[in-house]
Structure 1
């Protein structure tokens, strides 16, 4: 991902937020050909000194069949994003798109049986805990869960490079910047999220 200096962030808190709020991301590999799979991803920070991403995909997926320990992959997270109309400027210019994104290159470590079980338990708990009648892994019965696990390939991605991009109209003068916020606040949820992030970097 190309990141002009103006839009580059090295704030790992920003990275964590983008991943947490946009965890359905792309797993990209190129072992035999370029392959990409949308999958649920989690940032594992149990050991702060060894943070990694964990995910799983179907074993029947051709991408799973090609991945092996040590392979390089790319995890692509797209955060909030929205259209920016050139009509919001006080001068003639081009329209654009504001967005946040994280890309993480890393090395593959395939999960063993126990690691996959723990991963699925954590992932299920994360999303089921908000349900009216949550169905946790422990409620499904170990025999059933282990049967289903046979169709899953658990993957840990150990980061080697992290890129964080916040394109939030930092190149606009104050009057245009403020008007963009006003316009976004009158639009949809994604636009309002960008407005909030623009106000945050303005402080």
Structure 2
């Protein structure tokens, strides 16, 4: 990943929190060509030492390529938006603010028992905020039995982790204030969320 020094994020806590906050990842492996799938990925462990886990469908062209020790790249992306230079005090070049974490991993196929356990945790993670959550164990048994042979679960052990947050570091406070105000005017949830990230970056540095 291209990482100008002033935008690098190396703190294990930043990386860990970022993955938890943005769990829908781009999962990239190399077959006859580069192949990418968008999947939910959860993290297990601590900021200093963690595993990731997810699964893909049998119909996915990546399915037959998944094997132990295969290298993959996970891309987690935060909010992003175009930043107009018309918002600055002086004329400058427009840009794009964003944040992302890249994790290079080695894969290990889950056992059937590990797959069931990880699916239970995955569903619980995303259902817990629902008014009437439907947990994995509450799904009809026959449906689960039919579904399990059609997916492959795997652990992902990180061996290289990179974080970046390009949030107008080094800019004058008046420009930063103008950027956040203009982002908040947009009818766009990503722009609004990006504004919060920029404010946090300029208030507290990881």
What's the TM-score bracket when you normalise by the shorter of the two chains? over 0.9
SS for the counterpart of 2:39 is strand
Does 2:166 match 1:148?
no
1:79-90 equivalence runs, <5 A: 79-90=78-89
Q: 2:12·2:47 contact (CA, 8 Å) conserved in 1?
A: no
Q: How many residues align?
A: 202
Counterpart in 1 of 2:38? 38
Summarize the Cα distance change of 1:49–1:95 in structure 2 as closer, same or farther, 3 Å threshold. closer
Any conservation in 1 of the 2:108–2:154 contact (CA below 8 Å)?
A: yes
Equivalent-residue separation in structure 2 for 1:59 and 1:51 (angstroms): 26
- The gaps in structure 2 that reach 5 residues or longer are none
Structure 1 residue 30 displacement after superposition: 0.6
Q: What is aligned with 1:168?
A: 167
What's the counterpart of residue 29 of structure 2? 29
How far has the Cα of 1:179 moved from its partner? Answer: 1.6
Alpha-carbon spacing, 1:50–1:92, altered in 2? closer, same or farther (3 Å): closer
- The residue number in structure 2 matching 1:125 is 124
| Counterparts in 2 of 1:32 and 1:67: CA distance versus 1, 3 Å | farther
Aligned CA-pair RMSD: 1.7
Could you tell me which residue of structure 2 aligns to residue 198 of structure 1?
198
Alpha-carbon distance in 1 for matches of 2:110, 2:128: 24
- Cα distance, 1:146 vs structure 2: 3.0
8 Å CA contact 1:31–1:71 kept in 2: the answer is no
Q: TM-score, normalised by structure 1?
A: 0.92
Q: Distance in 2 between matches of 1:22 and 1:152?
A: 23
Alpha-carbon separation, structure 2, partners of 1:52 and 1:61? 23
Partner of residue 12, structure 1: 12
Q: CA 1:49–1:174 in 2, change beyond 3 Å: closer, same or farther? A: closer
Secondary structure of 1:109's partner?
strand
**Secondary structure of 2:41 counterpart:** strand
The alignment's TM-score, normalised by the length of structure 2, stands at 0.91
CA distance in 1 between partners of 2:28 and 2:151 (Å): 17
